[in-house]
Every structure is written in C-alpha cells, then in structure tokens.
Copies of this chain bind each other. A is one copy, B any other.
C-alpha cells in the first residue's frame, strides 16, 4: 500500500528525480512543475520511506541512550532532558536499559555499533572498565555520562564527584555533625562513582581533622537497598549522626528507615543525597542534595556526540558540568 517516489512520478508524468527535488525543496524546479508534482504528492498521500533515505544517506538521525534503569527518577529526568534536546537537534532517541550490569552494557553497546541503526550512543555506565569501553567504542560515536572513568578513550560529561562529595561532607560537619557516614555503592567493585565520592568524603573529614568515616555499601542505588545498610550503620556503639547518601533514592530509603527506627531527621540524624531528583524537595523532610545540572549534561553530551558523528577525531574530552549543594530541611544544623 505504500506510495513510492516512482508512483508519484508516474502519476504526475515526470521522472522520480523531479519528484525528489520537490520533496526535498531543491531549487531548479519550475513553479508550474512544482505545483503539478505537489498536487500528485498530496493526492497520493506520499510519505518518504525514512529507512531507504537513511540507507542511502548513511545516517539515521537516531541516537541511543543507555541508562541503568528508568524506574530510578534521576535517569527518568536525564532521559527527559536528552530526548528534549535531541529533538531540538533533529534527532530521535532510542532508550535501552542496562540494569547497570557490565555484560549487558557491553552487549547493548556492541549491538549499537554493529547495527548501524544508530548514529551514536550516550552511555550512562556503571560497571564497565576503561579497557572494556575502549574496545567497544571502536567505529562508533560514544559519549559517557555520569562518572569519570579513569582515562577512558571516550568523551565524557559529568560533575566533579570528588569536589561535590567533599562539599556536602563539609556542610554536614559545619552543621555540627560529628559522626558522618557515607551510604551507597561499592568500594570494592569497579564502581567509579562511589570511588570518587568516597574520596571527596574522606578528604573533607581529613581536612577537618576528623577520624575516617564509615561507609555502608549497597548493591545498587535503589531506595529498597538503603534499609539494610542503614540498620547496620546505626546498630553500632557510636552510630552516625549524619548520612551522606550517594543517590537521592538511597536518601529517600534512609529517611524511611530512620523514621521506622524512631529517629528524627534532621534532629537525630542529618541526611544528604546526590542528584537532586525532581521529587526530592517534596519529601518530608525535604532533602538536601547535590544538584547536577541535567539539562547542561544533556546539552554538552549531545554537542560532543554530534561532533563525533560529524567525524571529529579529536582526543577524548572531559566536560565538567556545574553542580550545586541545595540545602533543605534534612540537613539543618543541630543546636
């Protein structure tokens, strides 16, 4: 049932070349001819086959966004920004989820590279090492989002996690907290995000002359993963009076768990999150969080990606995006 360029040409009594010229608004077509062709176009309800066009052009106008999990509000927010910005730039976004699992990140990146469906990939990676990524990036335009994987060969956009964690920790110390603990991620596995944030956390404690803080690891950054770690931290002899959570999700889970334990926030325990997801200021108490400028991340990432797609061969670049500690009720100073 599909109407092709040829059908229109036959209908209008011209060559397909001329129809193509009209469709693509090329010059060198006489007005009368243009009108005649346009009439046939309308009458037959012609729709260009973008598949064929892309095959011919060698590009699809599609980029893939790979995130761990869309049920995490931060990634929903990020996807929103990417879709919006890409749309402005004339690109469409395919979204896939990696679950944060390295093998799935690898497989999806590989599929993208092989398929030639997509012009480029935005990867919000959690688990891949720089070596993995280098091999996969071959022949495909890729920009990394989120963490700063050490010396990867790929472009990267993210915040300065060390500085942000340091600032948040200092904020808690200056609010009179004496036993700050970190919550989330894994110090042992190749979890670059947590590694860097722990670094900033410890630097702040050291700078203030405090003993090293504790770290409650979690298998992922979901709300549901906070509870066990929080309970372990609080069952100690000297339980923490402040929690630096490495995602807003974990922070929300921590708020809930503290409530169940009968502890008051911020009176007994202060809580700070990371990401400043849209919902965090609506929690009770409202959550202090490190805000990443997501719109700027999307903008910078797409700019880099489009340059790569355009054939830029520059060395890998590392764009640092602004962040800001947004102070709300959950970290009010103690008296």
Residues of A in contact with B (beta carbons under 8 Å apart): 1-2, 47-52, 54-55, 60, 62, 69-73, 75-77, 79-80, 83-84, 87, 92-97, 113-117, 139, 223, 252-253, 255-256, 259, 278-279, 282-284, 286
| Contact yes or no, A252 B282, CB < 8 A | yes
| Contact yes or no, B116 A49, CB < 8 A | yes
The 8 nearest A-B residue pairs measured at CB = A76-B76, A47-B114, A50-B115, A70-B80, A95-B95, A70-B76, A256-B282, A71-B80
Contacts of A97 in B (CB 8 A): 80, 83-84
4 A-B pairs besides A50-B115, A51-B60, A84-B97 with CB distance below 8 A are A49-B116, A51-B51, A51-B55, A259-B284
* Closest residue on chain B to residue A78 by CB atoms: B70
Q: List 18 A-B contacts (CB under 8 A).
A: A1-B139, A2-B116, A50-B115, A69-B80, A75-B76, A80-B97, A83-B95, A83-B96, A84-B97, A87-B96, A94-B94, A223-B278, A252-B279, A252-B282, A253-B282, A279-B279, A283-B284, A284-B284
A241 to chain B, nearest CB (A): 19
| Contact yes or no, B279 A51, CB < 8 A | no
A121 to chain B, nearest CB (A): 13
Bound-complex Cα distance A133 to B97 (A): 30
Tell which of A84, A97, A117, A282 has the most Cβ of chain B within 10 Å: A282
A62 CB contact (under 8 Å) in B75, B94, B255: B94
* Closest residue on chain B to residue A1 by CB atoms: B139
Contacts of A283 in B (CB 8 A): 256, 283-284
Contacts of A72 in B (CB 8 A): 76
Bound-complex Cα distance A333 to B149 (A): 52
Bound-complex Cα distance A80 to B96 (A): 9
Contacts of A278 in B (CB 8 A): 71, 223
Tell which of A49, A76, A84, A283 has the most Cβ of chain B within 10 Å: A76
| Contact yes or no, A51 B117, CB < 8 A | yes
Known contacts A223-B279, A279-B279, A284-B283; is-contact A117 B70 (Cβ 8 Å): no
* Closest residue on chain B to residue A57 by CB atoms: B51
